[in-house]
Amino acid sequence: MPPSIIAIDGPAGAGKTVIGLWLADYLRYTFFDTGVLYRASAWLALTNSVAIDDADAIVALIERATIDVDSPQPSDAERGYTVTIDGHAVTDSLFTAEVNASVSPVAAHSAVRAALLPVQRRIGARGSVVMVGRDVGTTVLPDAELKIYLDASIDERARRRWEQEHRRGGTRTIEAVRADVAHRDALDTGRGSSPLRVADDAHRVDTDDLSLDDEKKAILDLVTMSRG
Ligand code: C5P
Task: Spell out where the chain has E strands.
Answer: 5-9, 30-33, 67-70, 82-85, 88-89, 129-133, 146-151, 203-206
Q: Is 5 exposed, middle or buried (0-12, 13-18, 19+ CB in 10 A)?
A: buried
Averaged over 52-59, what is the pLDDT? 98
Q: What is the pLDDT of residue 78?
A: 81
What is this structure's pTM? 0.93
Compute, in angstroms, the gap from residue 223 CA to the centroid of ligand 1: 24
Mutation to probe ligand 1, out of 16, 99, 103 (largest number of atoms < 8 A from CB): 103
Q: Where are the domains of the chain?
A: 1-29+129-216, 34-126
Compute, in angstroms, the gap from residue 85 CA to the centroid of ligand 1: 18
Compute, in angstroms, the gap from residue 101 CA to the centroid of ligand 1: 12
Pick the more confident residue, 150 or 69: 150
Nearest to 31 by CA among 164, 140, 144, 130: 130
Q: What is the pLDDT of residue 80?
A: 85
Q: Which residues line ligand 1 (CB under 6 A)?
A: 12, 34-35, 38-39, 103-104, 107, 133-136, 184, 188
Averaged over 176-189, what is the pLDDT? 93
Sign of the CA dihedral with 121 first, then 102, 88, and 74 last: negative
Is it the case that residue 210 has pLDDT exceeding 60? yes
Query: Strand, coil or helix: what is 69?
Result: strand
Compute, in angstroms, the gap from residue 184 CA to the centroid of ligand 1: 9
Q: What is the pLDDT of residue 18?
A: 93
Residue nearest to atom 1 of ligand 1 (CA): 35
Q: Which strand (E) or helix (H) includes residue 219?
A: helix 212-225
Compute, in angstroms, the gap from residue 23 CA to the centroid of ligand 1: 20
> 34-126 has which fold?
Rossmann fold (3.40.50)
Q: What is the pLDDT of residue 164?
A: 87
Mutation to probe ligand 1, out of 62, 92, 102, 104 (largest number of atoms < 8 A from CB): 104
Q: What is the pLDDT of residue 125?
A: 93
Phi, psi values for residue 205, rounded to 5°: -120, 115
Q: Could you confirm whether domain 1-29+129-216 is CATH 3.40.50.300?
A: yes
- CA–CA distance, 8 with 134 (Å, rounded to integer): 8
Share of the chain above pLDDT 90, in %: 86
Mutation to probe ligand 1, out of 38, 79, 148 (largest number of atoms < 8 A from CB): 38
Compute, in angstroms, the gap from residue 107 CA to the centroid of ligand 1: 7
Q: Are 12 and 137 in contact (CB under 8 A)?
A: no
Fold identical between 1-29+129-216 and 34-126? yes
Nearest to 117 by CA among 99, 96, 90, 136: 136
Least trusted range by pLDDT, from 26-35, 166-175, 190-199: 166-175
Q: What is the pLDDT of residue 70?
A: 87
Averaged over 24-37, what is the pLDDT? 95
- CA–CA distance, 49 with 46 (Å, rounded to integer): 5
Is it the case that residue 95 has pLDDT exceeding 70? yes
What's the pLDDT band for 228 if we cut at 50, 70, 90? low
What's the pLDDT band for 170 if we cut at 50, 70, 90? confident
